[in-house]
Amino acid sequence: MLHNDDLGKLILRLAVAGLILFHGTAKLMNPDSMNWIASLLARHDLPHFLAYGVLIGEVVAPVMVIVGWRARIAAIFMAGNMLVALFLAHTGELLTLKDSGGWALELQGLFLFGALALIFLGSGRMAVRPD
């Protein structure tokens, strides 16, 4: 039987962080999305400048995870980003199922739980600086 935990960690890092990074780069390329996040924060009486924290959770942290530098710390930021996204934009969908039978928040759930797994697993040896 083939065992390679480090390769598995690399695949997890690339999948979770790589897919989150697409969301972050889309926000960088479309400043209106930052205004939308700021409006969500305002509805919860939170300062609008916190919207820029999404760039840490969706750009900086994923790049750190992809290269494997301080991956556990970066994964904390990615998980925190997902928790804030669930709180701000998806609380009404937490217990909702799709017509197809899947959870309405499958993508957000996979990002959150993938980031949590990376917090506990670390980057493995296939990294710039293994955890």
Q: pLDDT tens digits for 39-64?
A: 999 999 999 999 999 999 999 999 99
For residue 2, the model assigns a pLDDT of 72
- In this structure, what DSSP letter does residue 114 have? H
- The pair of structure tokens assigned to 88 is 């701000």
Question: What residues does each domain of the chain span?
Answer: 5-121
Which of 36, 124, 27, 21 is closest to 77 using CA atoms? 21
User: CA–CA separation, 70 vs 131, rounded Å?
Assistant: 7
User: CA–CA separation, 65 vs 81, rounded Å?
Assistant: 14
Q: Please, what are the averages of pLDDT over each run of 10 residues along the chain (131 residues)?
A: 89 98 96 91 94 96 98 98 95 90 94 98 92 73
For residue 1, the model assigns a pLDDT of 67
For residue 3, the model assigns a pLDDT of 81
Residue 105, H or E segment: none
For residue 130, the model assigns a pLDDT of 72
Q: In Å, how far are 17, 32, 36, 48, 74 from 117, measured between CA atoms? A: 12, 32, 29, 30, 12
Q: In Å, how far are 19, 24, 33, 61, 89 from 30, measured between CA atoms? A: 17, 10, 6, 19, 18
